Copies of this chain bind each other. A is one copy, B any other.
């Protein structure tokens, strides 16, 4: 029995009528990321540490873990808090798969502990909003 490692994962999937190359650009270009996700100092290089900054003063600590151009991107998505219920150690992975009409995008955020029900539910709602904005950014880019 090893309940200490039990975590929950949020998965959101979307069909986007755009080529994978355009979505990849929006996922990996700092000024575009700021339009659909948060302000950031992202750079597409494994090992690069960066921050995602909410407008209200909140901050996520991140590190690029894996890059497979136009196919998948993975980074850590951590949040400091003295209260363990709110401290978060998670990993976000984007996976792109070409389809007949565009691209299938899968976003996974793993690492929610069972007691972090609110953070888990919030992330589900948060990603829906982020991805709706992402689609707008991808559609607007020439």
Contacts and interface: CB of A to CB of B under 8 A. Distances in A.
Given A51-B86, A118-B39, A79 B57 contact: yes
Interface string A52-63: 111111111100
A58 B55 contact: no
A55 B77 CA distance: 13
Main secondary structure of the interface of A (DSSP, over half): mixed
Interface of A: 38-39, 51-61, 77, 79-83, 86, 88, 90, 118-119, 122-123, 125-126, 129-130
- How many chain copies does the complex carry? 2
Contact of A123 (B55, B88, B129): B55
Given A80-B80, A80-B82, A118-B39, A125 B55 contact: yes
Nearest to A58: B58
B86 A123 contact: no
Given A39-B118, A118-B39, A123 B82 contact: no
Name, among A39, A51, A86, A126, the residue most crowded by chain B CB atoms within 10 Å (CB to CB): A86
A8 to B, nearest CB: 13
Nearest to A112: B57
Contact of A57 (B82, B90, B130): B90
